[in-house]
Protein backbone atom coordinates (compact mmCIF):
# COMPACT_ATOMS: atom_id res chain seq x y z
CA UNK A 1 0.00 0.00 0.00
CA UNK A 2 1.25 3.47 -0.89
CA UNK A 3 0.81 6.14 1.73
CA UNK A 4 0.68 9.65 0.30
CA UNK A 5 1.43 12.37 2.77
CA UNK A 6 0.40 16.01 2.61
CA UNK A 7 4.01 16.81 1.58
CA UNK A 8 3.71 14.49 -1.45
CA UNK A 9 0.44 16.10 -2.49
CA UNK A 10 1.90 19.59 -2.05
CA UNK A 11 4.93 18.63 -4.17
CA UNK A 12 2.67 17.31 -6.95
CA UNK A 13 0.72 20.60 -6.85
CA UNK A 14 3.97 22.60 -7.09
CA UNK A 15 5.09 20.49 -10.08
CA UNK A 16 1.73 21.06 -11.77
CA UNK A 17 2.01 24.81 -11.07
CA UNK A 18 5.50 24.88 -12.62
CA UNK A 19 4.42 23.01 -15.75
CA UNK A 20 4.30 25.17 -18.83
CA UNK A 21 1.83 24.89 -21.69
CA UNK A 22 3.10 24.65 -25.26
CA UNK A 23 1.37 24.97 -28.61
CA UNK A 24 2.50 21.96 -30.66
CA UNK A 25 2.72 22.37 -34.43
CA UNK A 26 4.15 20.65 -37.50
CA UNK A 27 6.47 22.20 -40.04
CA UNK A 28 8.25 20.29 -42.77
CA UNK A 29 7.60 16.93 -41.12
CA UNK A 30 9.01 17.94 -37.72
CA UNK A 31 7.15 18.63 -34.49
CA UNK A 32 7.74 21.98 -32.77
CA UNK A 33 6.60 23.46 -29.46
CA UNK A 34 6.14 27.14 -28.61
CA UNK A 35 5.19 28.56 -25.22
CA UNK A 36 1.44 29.16 -25.22
CA UNK A 37 1.98 32.51 -23.49
CA UNK A 38 3.60 33.80 -26.69
CA UNK A 39 0.70 32.72 -28.94
CA UNK A 40 -2.36 34.97 -29.05
CA UNK A 41 -4.38 32.75 -31.37
CA UNK A 42 -4.28 30.24 -34.20
CA UNK A 43 -5.94 31.04 -37.53
CA UNK A 44 -6.75 29.05 -40.61
CA UNK A 45 -5.22 30.77 -43.62
CA UNK A 46 -7.90 32.64 -45.50
CA UNK A 47 -6.50 35.45 -47.61
CA UNK A 48 -2.94 36.76 -47.44
CA UNK A 49 -2.26 39.98 -49.35
CA UNK A 50 1.16 39.86 -50.99
CA UNK A 51 3.43 42.87 -50.51
CA UNK A 52 5.43 43.73 -53.68
CA UNK A 53 9.17 43.96 -53.08
CA UNK A 54 8.98 42.24 -49.68
CA UNK A 55 11.59 39.72 -48.57
CA UNK A 56 11.02 36.13 -49.62
CA UNK A 57 10.04 34.99 -46.12
CA UNK A 58 7.32 37.66 -45.78
CA UNK A 59 4.31 35.97 -47.35
CA UNK A 60 2.21 39.09 -47.01
CA UNK A 61 -0.22 40.65 -44.59
CA UNK A 62 -3.60 39.72 -43.17
CA UNK A 63 -6.39 41.78 -41.69
CA UNK A 64 -6.87 40.74 -38.07
CA UNK A 65 -9.88 42.61 -36.71
CA UNK A 66 -8.83 45.84 -38.43
CA UNK A 67 -5.09 45.49 -37.75
CA UNK A 68 -2.50 44.77 -40.44
CA UNK A 69 -0.45 41.74 -39.38
CA UNK A 70 2.62 40.56 -41.33
CA UNK A 71 2.78 36.80 -41.96
CA UNK A 72 6.15 35.07 -42.31
CA UNK A 73 6.88 31.61 -43.72
CA UNK A 74 9.09 29.77 -41.21
CA UNK A 75 10.26 27.42 -43.96
CA UNK A 76 12.54 30.11 -45.44
CA UNK A 77 14.74 30.90 -42.40
CA UNK A 78 14.69 27.21 -41.43
CA UNK A 79 16.03 26.24 -44.86
CA UNK A 80 13.06 23.96 -45.60
CA UNK A 81 11.60 23.55 -49.10
CA UNK A 82 8.48 25.61 -49.78
CA UNK A 83 5.43 23.45 -50.48
CA UNK A 84 3.64 25.12 -53.40
CA UNK A 85 0.56 22.87 -53.08
CA UNK A 86 0.20 21.68 -49.48
CA UNK A 87 -2.07 18.70 -48.84
CA UNK A 88 -4.04 20.70 -46.29
CA UNK A 89 -4.50 24.41 -45.60
CA UNK A 90 -1.71 25.73 -43.35
CA UNK A 91 -2.28 27.59 -40.09
CA UNK A 92 -1.01 30.94 -38.86
CA UNK A 93 0.22 31.33 -35.30
CA UNK A 94 -0.45 34.89 -34.16
CA UNK A 95 2.54 35.61 -31.93
CA UNK A 96 3.40 38.62 -29.81
CA UNK A 97 6.89 40.02 -30.39
CA UNK A 98 8.84 42.40 -28.21
CA UNK A 99 10.45 45.30 -30.09
CA UNK A 100 12.14 47.52 -27.53
CA UNK A 101 9.37 48.72 -25.23
CA UNK A 102 6.67 48.01 -27.79
CA UNK A 103 4.95 44.74 -28.50
CA UNK A 104 3.82 43.85 -31.99
CA UNK A 105 1.75 41.04 -33.41
CA UNK A 106 3.19 38.84 -36.15
CA UNK A 107 1.89 35.78 -37.98
CA UNK A 108 3.99 32.64 -38.46
CA UNK A 109 2.86 30.18 -41.14
CA UNK A 110 3.06 26.53 -40.05
CA UNK A 111 1.80 23.31 -41.65
CA UNK A 112 -0.68 22.60 -38.89
CA UNK A 113 -1.30 23.07 -35.18
CA UNK A 114 -2.05 19.81 -33.41
CA UNK A 115 -2.20 20.30 -29.64
CA UNK A 116 -1.67 22.35 -26.54
CA UNK A 117 0.30 20.24 -24.07
CA UNK A 118 1.86 20.79 -20.64
CA UNK A 119 5.46 19.89 -19.85
CA UNK A 120 7.49 20.43 -16.70
CA UNK A 121 10.79 22.34 -16.96
CA UNK A 122 12.65 19.06 -16.32
CA UNK A 123 11.15 17.61 -19.52
CA UNK A 124 12.78 20.32 -21.64
CA UNK A 125 16.28 19.09 -22.49
CA UNK A 126 18.95 21.41 -23.89
CA UNK A 127 19.32 21.13 -27.65
CA UNK A 128 22.47 19.40 -28.89
CA UNK A 129 25.08 21.55 -30.64
CA UNK A 130 25.19 19.32 -33.72
CA UNK A 131 22.74 17.33 -35.75
CA UNK A 132 19.76 19.68 -36.09
CA UNK A 133 20.89 21.31 -39.34
CA UNK A 134 19.75 24.86 -39.99
CA UNK A 135 17.15 24.83 -37.22
CA UNK A 136 19.80 24.75 -34.47
CA UNK A 137 19.88 28.53 -33.86
CA UNK A 138 16.08 28.55 -33.57
CA UNK A 139 15.81 25.64 -31.13
CA UNK A 140 16.31 26.19 -27.41
CA UNK A 141 15.47 22.68 -26.29
CA UNK A 142 13.94 19.28 -26.96
CA UNK A 143 10.97 17.57 -25.36
CA UNK A 144 10.52 13.82 -25.65
CA UNK A 145 6.90 13.28 -26.68
CA UNK A 146 5.47 9.89 -27.62
CA UNK A 147 8.08 8.23 -29.87
CA UNK A 148 9.78 11.42 -31.08
CA UNK A 149 11.09 14.80 -30.01
CA UNK A 150 9.42 18.20 -30.15
CA UNK A 151 11.82 21.03 -30.96
CA UNK A 152 11.18 23.92 -28.56
CA UNK A 153 11.27 27.05 -30.68
CA UNK A 154 13.26 30.11 -29.58
CA UNK A 155 10.81 32.58 -31.09
CA UNK A 156 12.89 35.64 -30.13
CA UNK A 157 15.82 34.25 -32.14
CA UNK A 158 13.46 33.59 -35.07
CA UNK A 159 12.25 37.19 -34.97
CA UNK A 160 15.79 38.58 -34.81
CA UNK A 161 16.75 36.55 -37.92
CA UNK A 162 13.57 37.66 -39.71
CA UNK A 163 14.43 41.27 -38.80
CA UNK A 164 17.94 40.92 -40.22
CA UNK A 165 16.55 39.37 -43.43
CA UNK A 166 14.13 42.28 -43.73
CA UNK A 167 16.80 44.81 -42.72
CA UNK A 168 14.55 46.18 -39.94
CA UNK A 169 12.53 45.25 -36.89
CA UNK A 170 9.82 42.62 -37.26
The 10s digit of each residue's pLDDT in 109-128 is 999 999 999 999 899 888 77
Question: Could you give the residue ranges of the DSSP H alpha helices within the chain?
Answer: 6-18, 75-78, 155-166
Query: 39-44 and 91-99: which strand pairing?
Result: antiparallel
Report which of residues 115 and 5 the model is more confident about: 115
CATH of 22-166, one of 1.10.8.50, 2.40.50.180, 3.40.50.2300, 2.40.50.100: 2.40.50.180
What confidence score (pLDDT) does residue 131 get? 57
Report which of residues 80 and 42 the model is more confident about: 42
Closest CA to 94 of 115, 77, 109: 109
Q: Which strands make up the sheet holding 91-99, listed edge to edge?
A: 39-44, 91-99, 102-110, 67-73, 58-64
Kindly compute the dihedral angle of the four CA atoms of residues 146, 151, 154, 157, in this order, to the nearest 10 degrees: -170
The 10s digit of each residue's pLDDT in 59-89 is 999 999 999 999 999 988 888 888 777 767 8
Find out whether 111 and 90 touch, Cβ atoms under 8 Å.
yes
How many residues are listed for the chain in this entry?
170
Amino acid sequence: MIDLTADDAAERDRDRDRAQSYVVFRLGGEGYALEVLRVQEVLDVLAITEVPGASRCLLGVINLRGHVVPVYDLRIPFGLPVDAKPARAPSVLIVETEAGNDSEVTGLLVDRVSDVLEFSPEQVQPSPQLGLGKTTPFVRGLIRHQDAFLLVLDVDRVFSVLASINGEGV
